[in-house]
Amino acid sequence: MSGPNVDDIAEIAAEESREVRRDLRQTLLSGLALTVPFLITVLVLVWALGFVAGLLSPLADVIVAVGPGGEMSTWVVQLLAGTLVVGFVFAVGFAAQHGPETHIARRFDVLMEDLPGIGSIYTSVERMSDVMVEGDTESFREVKIVEFPREDCFALAFLTASAPPTIEEAADHGEMETVFVPMAPNPVMGGHLVNLPEDRIFDVDLSVEEGMQAVMTTGMAIDESVEDEGSAAS
């Protein structure tokens, strides 16, 4: 009776070692996939809370100076300051929505729009906020895709207007269109206003609302709609 083959034993041992390494690597990757998003979320929340706390610090100092805040802990004072701010926002909203016909909102808009330098910024942000909050998408004609920020890289864009003749003349590219390429997931925070020749703008079968949802969900809304269509078809 012959003894075990040494080469076979070595090969089996090597295969088991590779299997263990693969299992350990997969375990590590699974752990990272689960914990990294959670940790990043926690870090973002901590940063956001710290940022908000910094903004509320002046009001918190006032509460400590004129009220019973001196006997409270710091986080309680900041929580109270945040509650006061939220309450003030709701009070203003309630007064504008249900109060007497004083046209508070319009008066405030006019006041802000007349401020030199600030008016144009306020108007732009307010217009984009209307698009986001109230679903007012009339300023966006259609959803398009354009090569941005470089060739062979396509981004969602919203057709806003025909390019001014002065831009068409300066670019010397024939008829052009103006598109807004928003930043995801918060278009209110910015984007890019781009003037492109008509042949560089491509149609896409999405409504303006669907395009905005895609931007705000970083593409997940499109993915979910494709999965729903696939389920319905099957």
Q: Give me the pLDDT at residue 202, please.
A: 93
CATH of span 137-228: 2.30.30
Q: Give me the pLDDT at residue 135, please.
A: 47
Q: Give me the pLDDT at residue 145, please.
A: 92
What one-character DSSP code corresponds to residue 4?
P
Q: Give me the pLDDT at residue 73, please.
A: 75
- Bridge partner residues of 142 (DSSP): 159
**Percent of the chain residues topping a pLDDT of 90:** 6
Residues with Cβ within 8 Å of 176's Cβ and at least 6 positions away in sequence, in order, are 162, 163, 167, 168, 195, 196, 197, 198
| Per-residue b or e along 113-150, where b marks 16 or more CB atoms closer than 10 Å to that residue's CB | eeeeeeeeebeeeeebeebeeeeebeebebbbbbebee
Q: Give me the pLDDT at residue 150, please.
A: 85
Q: Give me the pLDDT at residue 82, please.
A: 84
Q: Give me the pLDDT at residue 102, please.
A: 58
Q: Give me the pLDDT at residue 53, please.
A: 79
Residues with pLDDT less than 50, the chain: 1, 135-136, 226
Q: Give me the pLDDT at residue 124, please.
A: 66
Extents of the domains making up the chain? 137-228
Q: Give me the pLDDT at residue 144, please.
A: 92
| Per-residue b or e along 37-54, where b marks 16 or more CB atoms closer than 10 Å to that residue's CB | eeeeeeeeeeeeeeeebe
194 token code pair: 């781009």
